[in-house]
Amino acid sequence: MDVSIVVPLLNERESLPHLVEWLHRVLGGMGKAYEIILVDDGSSDGSWDEIQRLSKADGRVKGVRFGRNYGKSPALNEGFIAAQGEVVITMDADLQDDPDEIPELYRMITVDGFDLVSGWKKKRYDPLTKTIPTKLFNWTTRRVSGVMLHDFNCGLKAYRKEVVKNIQVFGEMHRYIPFIAKKEGFHRIGEKVVKHHPRQYGRTKFGLDRFINGFLDLLTITFIFRFAKKPMHFFGGLGTIMFVVGFFSAAWVVGEKLWYSYVLHVAAPRVTSSGLFFVALTAMVIGVQLFTAGFVADLVSRNGDDRDRYRVSERIGL
């Protein structure tokens, strides 16, 4: 199998016949063996009936149906599991992504040697309430991830098969697939300006809350990739800092009392009358708790099922 097209969708019955016809025309013109995997994320508008009809008409159209709406990330993950093509291309089902971009995306993977190529909707047909937060989101993600892409959220992307078989996408993390791929060792990440069409059918499935969730997910994956295998480095480090701050603060309060009593020979203020004493006590308690949390998290991590899961890129003589 040369190419797998993975299309997650939710309530896109009207656009599916046009999309599949367009894909057949483009992929047929490439002369490559292909499959179209439509992942129905709990649609309620008859999308699954349309997928069944399209699959009966042409066996290269395949379908996956969720029992309810789980989100775009699980839908993509299920499509990645099912995909058999050496190049996997994802796109949205709303006809805003242009299938005519597929041949060049395929060439960039197979000829130019990219692991992943992300689309860039340089000219967008979206309202300002969507484009302005998107620009802020992309700027922040570039700074945090170190992946210099203009449009992380573009659904039109191409991957080498090895990439999609070695990453797992969950939650709302489909926006960060280039970041996830980079952290798994796939550094050849490219970008291509792609055409963006106005929506023809239905309505957008995403609101402003996706940007809040997106920033939270960015923090999550940053933490996971940095500390998932060594949580003690995070919790233990913070705990040590808090305990040291508390210890020296307490030492200052006690030293101050001794200074008044044995050097100045005057009535020393009570230790509990100093606000710093309570700050010191709180900091030491929090420090111990953080250190303990790190120790427990380290034990859980070392006994997890995926504690030894590493990506082996090549083997010789085995």
Residue 50: the pLDDT is 95
Instruction: Kindly state the tokens that stand for 24.
Output: 């057949």
CATH number of the domain encompassing residue 108: 3.90.550.10
Strand 116-120 with 61-65, pairing: unpaired
CA dist 168 → 12, 84, 183 (Å):
25, 16, 12
Residue range 298-315, pLDDT digits in tens: 777 666 555 555 555 555
Residues 215 and 244 in one domain: no
pTM: 0.72
Lay out the sheet containing 116-120: strands in order across: 61-65, 34-40, 3-9, 87-90, 157-160, 116-120, 189-193
Residues 70 and 158 in one domain: yes
Please indicate, yes or no, if residue 114 is contained in any of the structural domains: yes
Residues 139 and 244 in one domain: no
User: What is the Cα–Cα distance from 116 to 137, expressed in whole angstroms?
Assistant: 20
Residue 210: the pLDDT is 60
Residues 277 and 175 in one domain: no
Instruction: Kindly state the tokens that stand for 70.
Output: 């789980």
Please indicate, yes or no, if residue 308 is contained in any of the structural domains: no
Residue 79: the pLDDT is 94
Instruction: Kindly state the tokens that stand for 242.
Output: 């808090």
Name the residue type at position 307.
Answer: R
What beta strand segments (E) does 139-291 contain? 157-160, 189-193
- The stretches in the chain having pLDDT less than 70 are 125-131, 201-215, 221-222, 224-229, 301-318
175, 168, 169: which is closest to 149 by C-alpha? 175
168, 161, 115, 148: which is closest to 306 by C-alpha? 168
Please indicate, yes or no, if residue 307 is contained in any of the structural domains: no
Residue 20: the pLDDT is 96
SS (H, E, C) 216-257: HHHHHHHHHHHHCCCHHHHHHHHHHHHHHHHHHHHHHHHHHH
SS (H, E, C) 74-123: HHHHHHHHHCCCCEEEECCCCCCECHHHHHHHHHHHHCCCCCEEEEECCC
Question: For residue 260, what are the domain limits?
Answer: 231-302
For the chain, give the mean pLDDT: 84
Residue 302: the pLDDT is 64
Q: Are 157 and 134 in contact (CB under 8 A)?
A: no
User: What is the Cα–Cα distance from 118 to 192, expressed in whole angstroms?
Assistant: 6
153, 177, 7: which is closest to 89 by C-alpha? 7
User: Rounded to the nearest 5°, which phi and psi values hold at 133?
Assistant: -60, -30
Please indicate, yes or no, if residue 313 is contained in any of the structural domains: no
Residue 317: the pLDDT is 52
Residue range 215-270, pLDDT digits in tens: 677 777 667 666 666 777 778 888 889 999 999 988 888 888 888 777 777 777 77
User: What is the Cα–Cα distance from 20 to 38, expressed in whole angstroms?
Assistant: 10
Q: Are 115 and 163 in contact (CB under 8 A)?
A: yes
Q: Are 183 and 81 in contact (CB under 8 A)?
A: no
Residues 177 and 88 in one domain: yes
Name the residue type at position 283.
Answer: A
Residues 115 and 258 in one domain: no
Residues 83 and 188 in one domain: yes
Instruction: Kindly state the tokens that stand for 189.
Output: 């990440």
Instruction: Kindly state the tokens that stand for 276.
Output: 């710093």
In the block, tokens 């929506």 appear at 199
Residues 196 and 52 in one domain: yes
Beta bridge partners of 8: 39
Residue 108: the pLDDT is 96
Q: In the chain, how many domains are there?
A: 2
Please indicate, yes or no, if residue 66 is contained in any of the structural domains: yes
User: What is the Cα–Cα distance from 61 to 273, expressed in whole angstroms?
Assistant: 76
